[in-house]
């Protein structure tokens, strides 16, 4: 008899369903993983609510996974049964010009496991060996489930022109925003401003070293930041909230010649920006898409102790309580940062 296992799906907004999957042997280049920890991503919440701009229901969800190798295909050389690994959850085509140049995050046919029906909230996961990163002993499974958001933050901060003493503003102090804060400081930032509408997130930002953590009050907050940043504004702003207001603010707080980076995906396909300030202040705006060779950097920083991922975890739950984990994150005033689902 074939062995089966459950995988979480969203068929109707706000409800987690489990669908039975048949356990398959890995093909030549593949590895079968026994899942140990998966963290819930902001994008999973969009899917859960049926509001994801690209994922239409029914949809599989989950991609921030770590686990243990339990079987390998015949052509697998680097990994062996028993190895502890983290998943880089991306499926580039390998053929397009961007893939050939190594910039695989820009692949013109970019896909993801959950978009192809394999979500990560499941006890088993099959993937090509090349998208697995072997974990050092010192890094736990639950921390490793946060390597994916850390890689997103690493990619964004590497794109920013931060030099020693740069002033940096971060709009959105969820997990990725807080990681951007910590990494900006590692990269040499001087004064840092973190903005959010939730007080518990601002507290976390203060604990993680933000010079100023401000409740976002729109126009007044822009004025306050400009005032505190020598009346000139900040060198670099990150938008990690995915909102019209914060995109505009991230431009308005820049000093002349400053640079804003969009990290948050906006559920609205189009927003309005004040275009004249690009000319008047010679500012620039660019985007940061996912990660590309950033897992290696993320892992190096974690292993070396530069960033402690356990600080971002607010809740640990079992696979059986997945619905409660999503409810916790979508409930107003839920006070949850990263929720990690632990598997036996
Ligand atoms: Zn994610
Ligand atoms: Zn490609």
Secondary structure of 104-170 as H, E, C letters: HHHCCCCECCHHHCCCCCCCEEEEEHHHEEECCCCCCHHHHCCHHHHHHHHHHHHHCCCCCCCCEEE
* Helix 175-186, helix 199-207: angle, nearest 10: 20
The pLDDT, as a whole number, for residue 1 is 63
Question: pLDDT per position in the chain (344 positions), as tens?
Answer: 679 999 999 999 999 999 999 999 999 999 999 999 999 998 899 999 998 877 889 999 999 999 999 999 999 999 999 999 999 999 999 999 999 999 999 999 999 999 999 999 999 999 999 999 999 999 999 999 999 999 999 999 999 999 999 999 999 999 999 999 999 999 999 999 999 999 999 999 999 999 999 999 999 999 999 999 999 999 999 999 999 999 999 999 999 999 999 997 787 888 999 999 999 999 999 999 999 999 999 999 999 999 999 999 999 999 999 999 999 999 887 788 999 999 98
Ligand 1 centre distance from Cα of residue 220 (Å): 32
Residues contacting 23, CB < 8 A, separation 6+: 2, 3, 4, 5, 124
Say if residue 125 is in the same domain as residue 205: no
Say if residue 16 is in the same domain as residue 80: yes
Ligand 1 centre distance from Cα of residue 105 (Å): 14
The pLDDT, as a whole number, for residue 284 is 97
Ligand 1 centre distance from Cα of residue 91 (Å): 14
d(Cα 162, Cα 170) in Å, to the nearest integer?
13
Say if residue 201 is in the same domain as residue 133: no
Specify if 297 maps to a domain: no
**Any idea which ligand is nearest the CA of 104?**
2
Say if residue 137 is in the same domain as residue 164: no
The pLDDT, as a whole number, for residue 325 is 96
Which CATH number characterizes residue 26's domain? Answer: 3.90.180.10
Say if residue 93 is in the same domain as residue 165: no
Say if residue 19 is in the same domain as residue 72: yes
Say if residue 13 is in the same domain as residue 85: yes
**Any idea which ligand is nearest the CA of 265?**
1
Specify if 296 maps to a domain: no
Specify if 302 maps to a domain: no
Name the residue range of residue 120's domain.
Answer: 4-145+308-342
- pTM, 2 dp: 0.97
Which CATH number characterizes residue 243's domain? Answer: 3.40.50.720
Say if residue 204 is in the same domain as residue 260: yes
**Phi/psi at 46 (nearest 5 deg)?**
-60, -45
Ligand 1 centre distance from Cα of residue 168 (Å): 23
Specify if 293 maps to a domain: no
Specify if 300 maps to a domain: no
Say if residue 34 is in the same domain as residue 123: yes
Ligand 1 centre distance from Cα of residue 161 (Å): 24
Say if residue 172 is in the same domain as residue 45: no
H helical segments located in the chain: 42-48, 97-100, 141-144, 147-159, 175-186, 199-207, 219-228, 244-252, 276-281, 294-303, 322-330
Specify if 303 maps to a domain: no
Specify if 299 maps to a domain: no
Say if residue 54 is in the same domain as residue 79: yes
**Any idea which ligand is nearest the CA of 113?**
1
Exposed e or buried b for every residue in 10-26, given b needs 16+ CB within 10 A? beeeeebebbebeeeeb
The pLDDT, as a whole number, for residue 344 is 85
Structural domains of the chain, count: 2
């Amino acid at each position: 008899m074939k062995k089966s296992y459950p995988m979480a799906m969203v068929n109707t907004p706000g409800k987690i369903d489990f669908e039975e999957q048949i356990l398959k042997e890995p093909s030549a280049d593949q590895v079968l993983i026994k899942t140990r920890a998966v963290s819930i991503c902001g994008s999973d919440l969009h899917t859960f609510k049926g509001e994801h701009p690209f994922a239409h229901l029914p949809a599989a969800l989950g991609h921030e996974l770590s686990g243990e190798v339990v079987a390998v295909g015949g052509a697998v050389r680097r990994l062996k049964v028993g190895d502890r690994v983290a998943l880089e959850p991306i499926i580039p085509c390998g053929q397009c010009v961007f893939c050939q140049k190594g910039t695989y995050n820009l692949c013109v046919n970019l896909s993801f496991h959950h978009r192809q029906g394999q979500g990560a909230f499941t006890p088993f996961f099959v993937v090509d060996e090349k998208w697995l990163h072997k974990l050092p002993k010192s890094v736990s499974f639950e921390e490793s489930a946060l390597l994916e958001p850390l890689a997103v933050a690493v990619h964004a901060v590497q794109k920013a022109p931060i030099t020693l003493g740069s002033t940096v503003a971060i709009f959105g102090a969820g997990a990725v925003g807080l990681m951007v804060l910590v990494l900006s400081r590692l990269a040499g930032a001087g004064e840092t401003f973190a903005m959010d509408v939730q007080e518990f997130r601002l507290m976390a930002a203060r604990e993680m070293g933000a010079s100023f953590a401000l409740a976002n009050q729109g126009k007044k907050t822009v004025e306050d930041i400009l005032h505190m940043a020598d009346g000139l504004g900040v060198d670099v702003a990150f938008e990690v909230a995915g909102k019209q207001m914060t995109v505009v603010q991230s431009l308005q707080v820049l000093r002349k010649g400053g640079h804003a980076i969009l990290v948050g995906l906006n559920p609205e396909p189009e927003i309005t920006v004040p275009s004249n300030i690009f000319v008047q202040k010679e500012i620039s705006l660019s985007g940061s898409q996912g990660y590309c060779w950033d897992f290696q950097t993320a892992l190096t920083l974690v292993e070396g102790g530069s960033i402690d991922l356990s600080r971002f975890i607010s809740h640990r739950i079992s696979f059986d309580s997945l619905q409660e984990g999503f409810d916790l994150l979508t409930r107003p005033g839920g006070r949850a940062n990263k929720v990690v689902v632990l598997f036996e």
